[in-house]
């Protein structure tokens, strides 16, 4: 009589990720995620092969996270990739779908503990696809609201961080037009409206001895950014049109920028 061998338990590969912002806002530490993965493996009779960790990395793209790529490469047929939540795995439905297809190609499954998703069944695959789309929709909504709020603060001349744009100066947490630099912007704007190229405008400014705040000649990219950003800090209460054109090129003595 041939003695039967005990059935080997399935193997699981864990993946955890946290960025500094995520940890501060949500408090889901790497160790907390790992503990959840270990507990699931014990309850589900899965042998935990390893837990791959990405520390302080954004989930914006899957291909720039070395630990995630290592986890995917280590998975074999019959294994399962176990994550605390879909947000730890990917930040877009496209990336989530790509990861799932890679796992399917390897004959492996995906388990997401927070959403209780298990792709070992057709219904689990359907729920995974739906949840990925919902997560991406929520992130897009938050991103759009943030952009609207930033634009609103700019229209009120509130300083939103970073460098103060050329043409403006900071006073008591508000951004106000800086006349010497605003003259330059006005002339650049008018020259552009008259069909002059940004490269030609940059050359004209250099010829007149008008330089950027760093003391170096303007380049076309700086001029493009100048014309794009400046109008955001104007409101309807400002007299005249935003960035009105002026006549002759500004005089050097009137336009030398601070800093």
Does the active-site annotation cover 19? yes
Token pair of 75, please?
């998975």
CA pair distance 30, 49, nearest whole angstrom: 17
Q: Which is catalytic among the residues 4, 9, 10, 19?
A: 19
Q: Using an 8 Å Cβ cutoff, are 208 and 249 in contact?
A: yes
Phi, psi of 106 (to 5 degrees): -85, -5
CA-to-CA dists, residue 29 to 18, 32, 36, 38, angstroms: 7, 5, 11, 14
Q: Using an 8 Å Cβ cutoff, are 34 and 16 in contact?
A: yes
CA-to-CA dists, residue 205 to 14, 22, 159, 169, 187, angstroms: 58, 46, 28, 21, 10
Strand partners, 46: 10
Residue with tokens 């990925």: 132
CA pair distance 181, 254, nearest whole angstrom: 8
Token pair of 94, please?
């496209």
Residue with tokens 């759009």: 144
Catalytic residues: 19
């Amino acid at each position: 009589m041939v003695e039967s061998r005990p059935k080997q338990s399935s193997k699981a590969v864990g993946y955890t990720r946290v960025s500094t912002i995520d940890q501060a806002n949500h408090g889901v530490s790497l160790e907390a995620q790992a503990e959840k993965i270990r507990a699931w493996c014990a309850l589900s009779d899965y042998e935990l092969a390893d837990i791959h960790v990405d520390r302080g990395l954004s989930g914006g793209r899957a291909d720039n996270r070395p630990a995630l790529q290592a986890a995917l490469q280590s998975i074999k047929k019959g294994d399962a990739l176990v994550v605390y939540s879909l947000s730890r795995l990917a930040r877009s439905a496209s990336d989530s779908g790509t990861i799932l297809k890679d796992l399917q190609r390897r004959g492996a499954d995906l388990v997401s503990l927070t959403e209780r998703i298990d792709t070992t069944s057709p219904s689990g695959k359907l729920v995974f696809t739906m949840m990925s789309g919902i997560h991406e929709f929520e992130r897009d909504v938050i991103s759009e609201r943030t952009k609207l709020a930033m634009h609103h603060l700019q229209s009120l001349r509130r300083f939103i961080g970073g460098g103060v744009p050329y043409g403006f100066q900071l006073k008591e947490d508000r951004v106000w037009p800086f006349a010497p630099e605003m003259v330059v912007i006005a002339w650049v704007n008018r020259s552009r409206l008259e069909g002059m190229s940004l490269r030609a405008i940059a050359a004209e400014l250099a010829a007149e001895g008008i330089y950027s705040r760093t003391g170096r000649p303007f380049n076309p990219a700086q001029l493009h950014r100048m014309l794009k950003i400046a109008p955001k800090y104007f409101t309807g209460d400002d007299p005249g049109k935003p960035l009105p054109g002026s006549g002759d090129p500004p005089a050097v003595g009137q336009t030398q920028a601070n800093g």
